[in-house]
């Protein structure tokens, strides 16, 4: 547990390092009006904070920089969520007032504006499930207990999956299942498939098919994978070049390689819990961004997560500002998308 003085000094060091990108010394902190301790006192506390793992000392400097543990403590306990400037709020509200026809354009536009406002790289996972519908569903038996489930969407995307058939379900019943699904779900947006399975379609299956609940679970498992064919929108990829941390061309190349690898990027940004999440340094599972911070926010439709928008930058990131921006943008996206006819 850090003392109040240690918390104050750690927050000051993180704030100063975020703005300067230079190791921070005790004299620099003592000159801040919000600290009020002598350089000697601050020096002692900095040594203790380093011993506790919250600060690091670069070999070439007498100053300290935050460690990953220091950033995590700062984000969890010390970050001050300041309000956005009037100009920023106006720009964000204007963005959602514009007459943009396609929903994907709204997300793409939000991504672009975030990159411009922060000078970080913005990544957004598009809401393709909203406008993409089911064209056709098929179950092709391979044996008595396995089949290939085939889902074809309105975009022409085909998803194949080998599934286990519940014991006791005949091939004739499989045909009934396929006929019911195609009659009831063709033309339905992918985002609505799961809910439809447990309402009208579920009632129909219960009437005509044995082991209906097991079949519904099987179908839900299949349609749950139809969102793997999704759009990723990138903005501000060159912003990385202007961060002092990424002067090493090899380091920046590994990040760019990841940004160009869509399936890996979908996993990085799509595999996050709902709400706003902060991943710092090695908390990111992909090695290419082990020296970065990724802050993401999910946006929803009818309470269901629909997509993710995030900002990627150095661990020396303006956490308070980014958290504020993503909070506003995700809320505005939620309002906008839930007003959309569906």
Each domain of the chain, given as residue ranges in start order, spans: 4-78, 86-126+230-339, 132-228
Say if CB 142 and CB 160 are below 8 A apart. no
pLDDT score, position 19: 93
pLDDT score, position 340: 62
Burial class (CB in 10 A: 0-12, 13-18, 19+), 140: exposed
Please give the Cα distance from 338 to 96 (Å, whole number): 13
Say if CB 265 and CB 259 are below 8 A apart. yes
pLDDT score, position 130: 60
pLDDT score, position 114: 94
Please give the Cα distance from 179 to 201 (Å, whole number): 11
Which residue carries 């909070």 as its tokens? 327
The fold of the 86-126+230-339 domain, in CATH, is Beta-Lactamase (3.30.450)
Please give the Cα distance from 188 to 201 (Å, whole number): 12
pLDDT score, position 129: 59
Please give the Cα distance from 205 to 202 (Å, whole number): 5
pLDDT score, position 204: 86
Please give the Cα distance from 141 to 149 (Å, whole number): 9
Q: Which CATH number fits domain 132-228: 3.30.390.60, 3.40.640.10, 3.90.1150.10, 3.30.70.1450?
A: 3.30.390.60
pTM of the model: 0.74
Backbone angles phi, psi at 13, to 5 degrees: -65, -45
pLDDT score, position 25: 94
Give the Cβ contact number of residue 324 at 10 Å. Answer: 18
74 DSSP assignment: I
Give the Cβ contact number of residue 259 at 10 Å. Answer: 20
pLDDT values of the chain reduced to their tens digit, one per residue, 342 residues:
899 999 999 999 999 999 999 999 999 999 988 888 999 999 999 999 999 999 999 877 779 999 999 999 999 999 987 778 888 888 887 877 766 556 677 888 889 999 999 999 999 987 665 667 889 999 998 988 899 999 888 767 788 889 998 888 888 888 998 999 999 989 887 777 877 888 888 888 888 888 888 888 888 888 766 555 567 889 999 998 889 988 888 888 999 999 988 878 888 887 777 889 999 999 998 999 999 999 999 888 777 677 889 999 999 999 999 999 999 998 888 888 777 655
pLDDT score, position 200: 80
243 DSSP assignment: S
Handedness of CA 88, 92, 97, 99 (dihedral sign): positive
Please give the Cα distance from 342 to 54 (Å, whole number): 49
pLDDT score, position 317: 96
Say if CB 305 and CB 125 are below 8 A apart. no
Q: Which CATH architecture has domain 4-78?
A: Orthogonal Bundle (1.10)
Please give the Cα distance from 29 to 37 (Å, whole number): 8
Backbone angles phi, psi at 11, to 5 degrees: -60, -40
Please give the Cα distance from 85 to 3 (Å, whole number): 32
């Amino acid at each position: 547990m850090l003392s109040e003085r240690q918390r104050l000094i750690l927050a000051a060091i993180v704030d100063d390092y975020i703005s300067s990108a230079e190791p921070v010394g005790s004299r620099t902190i003592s000159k801040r009006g919000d600290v009020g301790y002598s350089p000697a006192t601050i020096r002692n506390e900095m040594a203790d904070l380093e011993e506790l793992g919250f600060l690091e000392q670069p070999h070439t400097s007498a100053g300290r920089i935050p460690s990953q543990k220091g950033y995590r403590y700062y984000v969890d306990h010390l970050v001050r969520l300041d309000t956005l400037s009037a100009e920023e709020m106006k720009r964000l509200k204007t963005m959602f007032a514009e007459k943009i026809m396609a929903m994907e354009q709204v997300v793409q536009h939000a991504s672009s504006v975030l990159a411009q406002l922060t000078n970080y790289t913005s990544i957004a996972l598009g809401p393709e499930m909203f406008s993409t519908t089911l064209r056709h569903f098929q179950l092709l038996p391979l044996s008595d207990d396995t089949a290939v489930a085939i889902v074809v969407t309105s975009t022409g995307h085909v998803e194949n999956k080998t599934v286990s058939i519940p014991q006791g379900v005949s091939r004739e019943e499989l045909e009934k299942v396929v006929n019911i699904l195609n009659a009831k779900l063709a033309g339905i947006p992918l985002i609505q498939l799961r809910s439809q399975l447990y309402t009208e379609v579920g009632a129909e299956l219960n009437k005509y098919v044995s082991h209906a609940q097991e079949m519904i679970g099987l179908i839900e498992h299949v349609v749950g994978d139809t969102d793997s064919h999704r759009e990723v929108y990138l903005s501000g990829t060159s912003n990385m070049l202007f961060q002092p941390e990424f002067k090493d061309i090899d380091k920046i190349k590994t990040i760019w390689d990841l940004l160009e690898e869509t399936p890996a990027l979908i996993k990085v940004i799509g595999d996050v819990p709902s709400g706003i999440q902060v991943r710092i340094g090695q908390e990111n599972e992909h090695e290419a961004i082990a020296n970065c911070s990724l802050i993401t926010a999910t946006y929803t439709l009818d309470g269901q997560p629909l997509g993710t928008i995030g900002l990627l930058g150095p661990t020396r990131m303006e956490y308070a500002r980014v958290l504020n921006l993503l909070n506003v943008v995700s809320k505005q996206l939620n309002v906008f998308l839930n007003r959309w006819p569906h």
